[in-house]
Structure 1
Amino acid sequence: MLRLESMKAKRGIWKSPEINLTLREGEIAAIIGPCGSGKTSIMLSMIGFLPYEGTMMYDGVEVSLIDKTYLRSKIAYVPDEPESYILNNRVFDEVAFGPENLGWKPKKVIESTIKALEMTNMLNLYDREVSTLSGGQRQRLAIADALSISPKILLLDNPFSNIDWEARKTISKTLEELCDHGLSIILTGYSMEELYLKPDRTLFIGEVGKPYEKKASYTNPLASERFVEVKDLWFNYDRRNIVLKGVSFTIRRNEIISIIGKNGVGKTTLLKILAGIYKPSKGVVLVNSRKPNPHLSVYVSQNPSAFLTEATPREELARSRSIDTVNLLEKIGLSYLLDRPIHNLSLGEKRIISILSGLCRGRLLLCLDEPTSGLDYMLGHRLGEIMKAAVSNNVTLIIATHDISFAEAYSDRILLLERGIIYEDWRRIFQ
């Protein structure tokens, strides 16, 4: 079905590592490698977005000779930054866009759209505005987009990074069932543990680093007086969509707090309230004894491309007010990124720069939304060093994450957000 021999994706003078792969009907292949190793570029070459050298054949025909519209109806790509590819305002319209664009009849469009939403556990959200979805729900939406055109090959670029553990199991089971009926899959990742699918063959294109180690129980010597206070916080987008239902908790100054929970439970909403972007429907929220506002807090989005505004990391970090973030980038061994165009960075590299950009604005509270999404272990440990540097500079951090191993390694406390309520005993989610 798909055969790659000595294939290298190309971006200008840069070339990816050489790939040799034969993918047959119903098979799953994985490409494992660190951030910036070329995994995304390899996938973009498979759908004709980037040139390549070597041989790449689909059904016996060289990919570079195949009509691009036809090729992309057979090989569907799910990006690692789904927000950049979503085109419609409503969930159903977004998933229906692909079949409509291929000229399918209305009845077939509706049937394929409903089926794709069912397979990704999104049918109950069919009428929602895309802007109200969580990051994980948008990632599931991107998978539904791809499945709606019934492709022969599905390319999944780091597909489970923003999806909660329960949804990962559901979607991976669905994908395995589709493989039993002939779908072939190529997916990328930073480790075998995060794939959630058992590949028939795996290609490794670089070192990804050592897994996180659980932090030993200790008292943070820098944590001091109460800094964030949340009492009986309620928030709703409309009468039907009540997200937070009486949330109460406190954070001490210079603490690192992780919030975990399923997709759509309100983690991002909570962070945006603490950053002064949203106002509570009811309740008390205080940051340093004042109402949250952009002068006290900064929210770093799940989508780093939307957060970064300058051409290079050096220009992005030049605004630093209190912490020498350029020097910090050099200390953690990433100075080689400083003068690269931001649009050429990998998702993980963009995420590190966006977090440093948030840190350099000199706010007392840093709210990080899914900060490890797109990071391999090496960059994850470097993020941990950035967080420690922030705390030593009198910054308090709250992060929303699905990465429990990172939270255990670098957080002072972990809180669970479930059904609109905060729980101190976060392990109840596994009960």
Structure 2
Amino acid sequence: MAPAIFTLAADAPKLDSGNTAFLLLSSALVMLMTPGLAFFYGGMVRVKSALNMLMMSFISLGIITLLWTGYGFSFAFDGDHGGFIGGTDWLGLRDIAPDDLWGATGTPIFAFAAFQLMFAIITPALISGALADRVKFVAWSVFIALWATVVYFPVAHWVWGGGWLMKKGVIDFAGGTAVHINAGAAALGVILVIGKRVGFKRDPMRPHSMPWVMLGAGLLWFGWFGFNAGSEITADGVASTVFINTQIATAAAMIGWLLYERIRHGSFTTLGAASGAVAGLVAITPSCASVSPLGAIAVGVIAGVICAAAVGLKYRFNYDDSLDVVGVHMVGGIVGSLLIGLLATGGVGQDVKGVFYGGGWHQFGVQAVGVFSVLGYSVVVSAILAKAIDLVMGFRVPEEIEVSGIDQAEHAETAYDFSGIGSTGHAAAPAGVGTAASKKVDA
């Protein structure tokens, strides 16, 4: 995503209704991804934590929207101060008129701000999957408010708002570093501080609803077209290429994950299909405007296999990444970002060529700088924030609440009402169904 390109008054662009409609529709698609993520994560946890998982995503819609309005958009996209942070002219979204345009795109600044807001919302929500079953809802809410302020808004500026990584030439079309590596690294930092779930590596912790998981994955896949294609801002040939690359890489990653799973574990699972699709979406996000459709297949297959292998590292290294945020989002973001340095054709959205197209190793090195600077910053700052919150108010729920179920304790609700379940374990039959009376009628 390019920063605003300011032009002389004589050459000032005019409102483009087509591009504006495209950007607003893309914004709505990206907004849908957060509820989709809530279902994806919510189905993967045990039933006693399902509502809490949904709420950890949904609360981001409220908190981040207000922070973005107050200062987030200004810090990320209003000018540049030392390559690290933006300015303060747009605090409260003030001094922006409805007809003020975002550079030469012909779209209003408000439309661009809305689009970027949806990225800011889903990024901290991604972190929540690593912390399932064990954190206080208030502590989580405080964490995402602080994390967005000191991690996401500055990193978004580094990558997209004219900051130091953008000036260095790092390519991140739609969020491989700013969103996925950033969130995955944050998840790693926090879980190293708060520790493992009770029963990790001992008790079965299977998904309680695979239909929820598949629904969530489908919504994410659908919304991701807005996430990636919308990042072109204008409805043009690059956006079209990005759209098809997104579909191709996602399909390839799903197949790659399933084949790895079959060879390694002997089964094709629905969880593997859903996770593989998400891994492909993550990996193609930074590279979708740099690679060809054949390159998108390579990105997808490589990401699917590597991410499928990476999710098992938590057992080897003994960190409890509940829903594989590190293995899918951090690793997938790294894969997709670095592959730009190998597979960029120079003929899609950027002129840069990768190693396989005669471009040499320079861009690969630039991509590595972007990847590991964001990763390191996010891990360290996230761990510091988590430790501070833990010291002040406690980040984790008490052990007895974790064991009995966080939903009832934190939200006074449960995902399912089993009040109609009798002592035999069967739901009471509605009147006229399966009863003697109904049989007489049928007869």
Q: Which has the higher helix share?
A: 2
Q: TM-score, normalised by structure 2?
A: 0.26
Q: Which has the higher strand share?
A: 1
Higher relative contact order (CA 8 A, sep 6+): 2
